[in-house]
Structure 1
Amino acid sequence: MLTLAEIINLLKALGDSRRLEIIELLLEKSFCVKALAKRLEISESAVSQQLKILREVALVRGEKKGYFVHYTVQKDRLKEAAEYINNLSQK
């Protein structure tokens, strides 16, 4: 179970439209920074900055494949945040 501070940090990370776009893309399949930058039409540096925030709250994880790091969503963290919000609506 996540602490309230962790929930708040997760929601803050998801509260940015660009980071939410990244999460949506990564839910389809894993991508490297270069591929995400191309799809989002932003710089690789901008993608890296957003991924850093998502990694800090453990929403994404990187795995080195050859020369590139491919990122995936940590669905369990996403589900925990969703469950918290769902529980709020049940009160």
Structure 2
Amino acid sequence: MDVTLALKTIADETRMKILTLLLQRNYCVRALARKLNLTEATISQHLKILREAGLLTGEKKGYFMHYDVKREILHELAASIEKLASIEREACTPEYGGCQHKESGNCHVKGECSSEIRKFCHGKEAGGNGGSKHEHCRCHKS
């Protein structure tokens, strides 16, 4: 499964609504179009994208194709996001952070950074005191 493709696919509001409906029961294009108040052509295009991302299967019932969600793919996607969320933050250090500034040696030592270093290393939003957003950095711990 391509995680990026799956996330891009479900990022669309209409496709997310389609997935939600299909998780509740199987629908054909016509039924989805009626439920969502969209044209059948629009629904078909969204279903095509969802199928190409590997999120749907289709089963022919009479003249109509009924769609279902591949739940195992959603579980894999959820596991990928959980794995991403569990990555531990490390303290920033010059040897790993790629600091190129003339004062980078001073930035990552115990104590307070100058406002110039805070802005360089931590962005403009760090302002004058470093801000609580950057407490992971050793330079903000005394």
Higher strand proportion: 1
- Say whether 1:66 aligns with 2:62: yes
Give the letter for the 2:42 counterpart.
A
What per-residue deviation string (whole Å, max 9, x for no partner) do you get for residues 34-77 of structure 1? 00000000000000000000000110111000010000000011
Question: How big is the alpha-carbon RMSD for the aligned residues of Structure 1 and Structure 2?
Answer: 0.6
Instruction: Supply the distance in 1 between the matched residues of 2:82 and 2:34 (Cα, whole angstroms).
Output: 34
Give the letter for the 1:19 counterpart.
R
Instruction: Supply the distance in 2 between the matched residues of 1:82 and 1:12 (Cα, whole angstroms).
Output: 14
Instruction: Supply the distance in 1 between the matched residues of 2:76 and 2:10 (Cα, whole angstroms).
Output: 13
Please state whether the residue corresponding to 2:60 is helix, strand or coil. Answer: strand
- Say whether 1:55 aligns with 2:58: no
- Say whether 1:84 aligns with 2:80: yes
Q: TM-score, normalised by structure 1?
A: 0.93
- Structure 1 gap segments, 5+ residues each: none
Instruction: Supply the distance in 2 between the matched residues of 1:84 and 1:7 (Cα, whole angstroms).
Output: 8
Please state whether the residue corresponding to 1:70 is helix, strand or coil. Answer: strand
Q: Equivalent residue for 1:29?
A: 25
- Say how many residue pairs are matched: 87
- Runs of 4+ residues over 3 Å off in structure 1: none
Shift of 1:90: 1.0
Q: Equivalent residue for 2:14?
A: 18
User: Which structure is larger by alpha-carbon Rg, 1 or 2?
Assistant: 2
Please state whether the residue corresponding to 1:13 is helix, strand or coil. Answer: helix
Instruction: Supply the distance in 1 between the matched residues of 2:22 and 2:4 (Cα, whole angstroms).
Output: 22
Higher RCO (CA-CA < 8 Å; seq separation 6+): 1
Instruction: Supply the distance in 2 between the matched residues of 1:42 and 1:67 (Cα, whole angstroms).
Output: 21
Q: TM-score, normalised by structure 2?
A: 0.60
